[in-house]
Structure 1
Amino acid sequence: MELPTIHDLDELADLVEQVRGREHLYVRWSEGPDADLSGDGGGDQSSRDSLTGVTLPGLSANPLDVEQWWEDRPIRLWVARRLYDYRHLRDLRGPGVRPWVLAGDERGRGPDNEPLVRCRRPIAWVSERALRQCEEAVQAQHSPEWGPLHRVD
């Protein structure tokens, strides 16, 4: 499936702002829609719990929707931390795994309380440049107590 690419963090923040309140956007770290969706875009759309092997009723993804409590803080920082939180998945899940944005509907919650979604529409890949900008935006907050959500043995 041919997808456009979001080239920078501002472009992604603009997208989130444009659809705010009209549809739900998520970021998924995987090999992409071709690997996650069947040819008709419907398909199984399931993930697997890495601890137990249980098939989950949707694609594990992270919401890009801005919560009300965020108030008038920059959407750019909101989006940056949503991508930064799970950047370790690229290395953990192997070659070809990268983030992509989708519009979807929540079907449940996974074992880490992540949304399990049914993709209605793949939107775009997220570029390496945008990921670097996410890291820079988060690090610019100088929070010694905050970092990516990565389990370490």
Structure 2
Amino acid sequence: MEIITRFDEVVELARMRAPVYVRYSAGPAHDAEAPSHDVEADVALPGPPAATLTPEPWWTRPDEDWVARRLCTYLDPLEQDGNGADRRPWLLTGVVVGYGPEHEPLIGAVEPLGWVGPEVLETAKELYRSQFHSLGDPTDPKQKSA
């Protein structure tokens, strides 16, 4: 799978290939071999959970802000839990086949679009920090020690 290295390319994909999702995992091949599972309830999920990367119709700010925010949302848990080493963000499209226990879309007929490169994540973090006022900024290293 190709690596997407430009933030503007991710934004363009989110605009043109709706719906586009971001998933943090070991990748589509791994996900196909190890289907998603709700560990707490011990129930198999009908598709892998993902976050919507395509801006919502009600969003009045720039699409870049939405994409940066969505890319940054799950970085903190990956960095804090110590289990993120084998998980990376990648983009996909597909069909919503249900919703997970935290109301995240579960995606079927997955079509991988590409890995999200580290350059994209750095740009997303910078944009997030400059555009949002958050009490729980997932990109702020000072908040990890608080």
Same fold (TM over 0.5): yes
Q: How many residues align?
A: 137
Q: Where does residue 73 of structure 2 map in the other structure?
A: 85
Q: Where does residue 95 of structure 1 map in the other structure?
A: 85
Structure 1 distance, partners of 2:42, 2:24, is 18
Richer in helix (by share): 2
Identity %: 36
CA contact (8 A) 1:47 1:55 kept: yes
* Structure 1 pair 105–122 and aligned structure 2 pair: CA distance change class (3 A): same
1:105-125 CA distance string (max 9 Å, x none): 101111111001114311100
CA contact (8 A) 2:96 2:105 kept: yes
User: Matches of residues 22-37 of structure 1 in structure 2 within 5 Å?
Assistant: 23-37=18-32
Cα displacement (A) at 1:142 = 4.6
* Structure 1 pair 143–58 and aligned structure 2 pair: CA distance change class (3 A): same
Give the TM-score taking structure 1 as reference length: 0.80
Cα displacement (A) at 1:81 = 0.6
Structure 1 alignment gaps of length 5 or more: 39-44
1:55-85 CA distance string (max 9 Å, x none): 21110101112111113x2111111111111
Stretches of 4+ moved more than 4 A in 1? none
- 1:54 pairs, out of 12, 28, 43, with 43
Is residue 14 of structure 2 the alignment partner of residue 16 of structure 1? yes
Structure 2 alignment gaps of length 5 or more: 139-143
CA contact (8 A) 2:23 2:92 kept: yes
- 1:68 pairs, out of 49, 53, 57, with 57
